[in-house]
Amino acid sequence: MTRLHDPHRRGFASDNYAGAHPEVLAAIAEANGGHQAAYGEDEYTARLQQVMKEHFGPQAETFPVFNGTGANVTALTSMLPRWGAVITARSAHVHTDENGAPERISGLKLLPVATPDGKLTPDLVDEEAWGWGDEHRAQPLAVSITNSTELGTLYSVEETRAIADHAHARGMLVHLDGARVCNAAAALGVPFREFTTDAGVDVLSFGGTKNGLLHGEAIVVLEPSAAEGLLFLRKLNMQLASKMRFVSAQLLALLADDLHLRSAAHANAMAARLRAALEARDLPGLELTQPTQANAVFAVLPPGVADELRRRFRFYDWNPATREVRWMTAFDTTEEDVDELVDAVTEALAARSASDSDQQQRRGDQH
């Protein structure tokens, strides 16, 4: 097949835009050939079970799935009865970017809470943690947090444990959306288990596609009593891969030789480089809006500047009403990519400032 894209072109829209890591592609090729039993009865999925236990504890049970939405929806479905509700941050992916899948597919009620930085706290959880026994209210029975969050911020080990202790004391379970759990691990500098299993998380959605996988994620049950029926729900929710060995082989490659940390740490470092360079230039009209703790940089730009920049770089508006944008970095983002974006932002803001000065001058001349 003829290549249809420029392999040297990279943007800042999402780490999902990046291709597959060469080591992951090699693992897929290595897993090919011959016959292996379908639907998870293969050698690669069996090995993945053992590797995940090494990272999350001997009680952990892993269910490979196709994608992050499938992981989140299927995990939450296994954790709750039909009348259950999930407390989550208003900015969480499960609330904002899954097209109502938890409600439509599983019939679950989400109880979103506004947060300044994408992170719940025990006090914020309590805004929706009430009404147990009230037949008129969906029952708050789980809390879902994201690490790293949709705003690029991190829950510390202590913050996660505080939420888990608070939730468990009120009879609620804790789900962690780990679409970027590798970025969190790299930034926190601690093993997975320390900020998941040992911090009280019950069920984890383990992300891979944002960190170099071609496709595939996994549900990891950290507390066996917290989930029920996943063997059946995975199929029911159309997340059971027939040739599961190729999903499991990718996850094995990600966890081999610390590839997950190498890739995520690089993405985090590129975001830090982007933020530091923008701050160093002290650009008028640019406002950085969230801490850069993982691989995301958020900024507010003057009117028209984002559209000008998008002539050269793909990225998303985060909040069009406030002109807030998001720049994401990935495992394959280079220093040159970052420097080009910084230069482009500098030029666009300078042009905007010159244009504003000209307009002010013309208005002054008219008066």
Domain CATH for 249: 3.40.640.10
Tokens of 226: 């917290």
Residue 258: DSSP 8-state: G
The verdict on residue 58 lying in a domain is yes
Q: How many domains does the chain have?
A: 2
Does residue 335 share a domain with residue 296? yes
Does residue 330 share a domain with residue 233? no
Cα–Cα distances (Å) from 252 to 44, 52, 216, 247, in that order, read: 8, 9, 11, 9
Structural domain including 55 reads 20-257
The verdict on residue 137 lying in a domain is yes
- The answer to whether residues 220 and 251 touch, using CB atoms and an 8 Å cutoff, is no
Work out the burial of residue 44: count CB atoms within 10 Å of its CB; fewer than 13 is exposed, 13-18 middle, 19 or more buried: buried
Does residue 206 share a domain with residue 116? yes
User: Measured between alpha carbons, how far apart are the two ends of the chain, in Å?
Assistant: 64
Does residue 244 share a domain with residue 123? yes
The verdict on residue 178 lying in a domain is yes
Does residue 273 share a domain with residue 230? no
Tokens of 30: 């290595």
Residue 207: DSSP 8-state: -
The verdict on residue 10 lying in a domain is no
Does residue 89 share a domain with residue 237? yes
Cβ-Cβ contacts under 8 Å for 12 (sequence gap 6 or more): 313, 314, 315, 327, 328, 329, 333, 337, 341
Q: Report d(CA 247, CA 139) in Å as an integer.
A: 35
| Runs of H (alpha helix) within 282-316 | 305-309
The verdict on residue 79 lying in a domain is yes
What amino acid is encoded at 267 in this protein? A
HEC-encoded secondary structure of 72-99: HHHHHHHHCCCCEEEEEECCCHHHHCCC
Cα–Cα distances (Å) from 298 to 27, 290, 327, in that order, read: 34, 6, 6
Cβ-Cβ contacts under 8 Å for 73 (sequence gap 6 or more): 98, 101, 102, 105, 106, 237
| Runs of H (alpha helix) within the chain | 22-31, 43-56, 68-79, 93-96, 101-106, 122-125, 157-169, 181-188, 192-195, 230-236, 245-255, 259-281, 305-309, 335-366
Q: Count the alpha carbons within 13 Å of 13 in the hemisphere toward its beta carbon.
A: 13
pLDDT per residue of the chain (367 residues) written in tens, 0 to 9: 899 999 999 999 999 999 999 999 999 999 999 999 999 999 999 999 999 999 999 999 999 999 999 999 999 999 999 999 999 999 999 999 999 999 999 999 999 999 999 999 999 999 999 999 999 999 999 999 999 999 999 999 999 999 999 999 999 999 999 999 999 999 999 999 999 999 999 999 999 999 999 999 999 999 999 999 999 999 999 999 999 999 999 999 999 999 999 999 999 999 999 999 999 999 999 999 999 999 999 999 999 999 999 999 999 999 999 999 999 999 999 999 999 999 999 999 998 877 666 565 566 556 6
Residue given tokens 């994608």 in the structure block = 67
Q: Report d(CA 195, CA 193) in Å as an integer.
A: 6
The verdict on residue 96 lying in a domain is yes
Domain boundary among 229, 257, 285: 257
Closest residue by Cα to residue 62 from 81, 31, 43, 40: 40
Closest residue by Cα to residue 76 from 180, 219, 215: 219
Q: Report d(CA 283, CA 233) in Å as an integer.
A: 51
CATH number of the domain that residue 280 is part of: 3.90.1150.10
The verdict on residue 4 lying in a domain is no
Cβ-Cβ contacts under 8 Å for 80 (sequence gap 6 or more): 86, 106, 108, 141, 142, 173
The verdict on residue 3 lying in a domain is no
Residue 148: DSSP 8-state: S
